[in-house]
Amino acid sequence: MRRPLKTFGEFWPYYLNEHRRRGCRMLHYVGTASGLTTAGVATATEPWLFLATPFAAYGPSWIGHFFVERNRPASFQYPIWSAFADLRMFALAVTGQLPRHLRHAADDPTANLAGRTQAAPGGQM
């Protein structure tokens, strides 16, 4: 049985370990960029497009979890933290800092207490 995560600091390494495969992360980046773009267009021109934002953002991400990573999206249990973690992971990938965070999360013994017991292999970005 998984123990609930109490802080974002506990959640972050768990989140990264749920995104070990590069393909899953790439689909997350597509979803994050699509969600931000859809929200921007909705703000600037078409407010009704806000309804499409969750589909644009989470659709590719969930495909990555179900078919690439083969795990359950963290957003099902931690929706707010997952949204912030998606943005953080995206920013770290763009700035080249993500590999260090992935290595640190893989070495964190508490990260897997709330999630899987084994991290999947994956690339860097």
Q: Give residue 124's pLDDT.
A: 45
Crossing angle of the two packed helices 8-17 and 79-94, in degrees rounded to 10: 60
Q: Give tens-digit pLDDT for 77-102.
A: 999 999 999 999 999 999 999 999 99
How far, in Å, CA of 41 to CA of 30, rounded? Answer: 16
Domain residue limits, the chain: 8-111
Output the pTM of the full model: 0.83
**Considering just the CA atoms, what is the radius of gyration of the chain in Å?**
15
Residue-wise pLDDT for 97-121, tens only, equals: 999 999 999 998 776 644 443 334 4
Q: Which residue type, as a one-letter code, is found at position 57?
A: A
Q: What is the pLDDT of residue 3?
A: 77
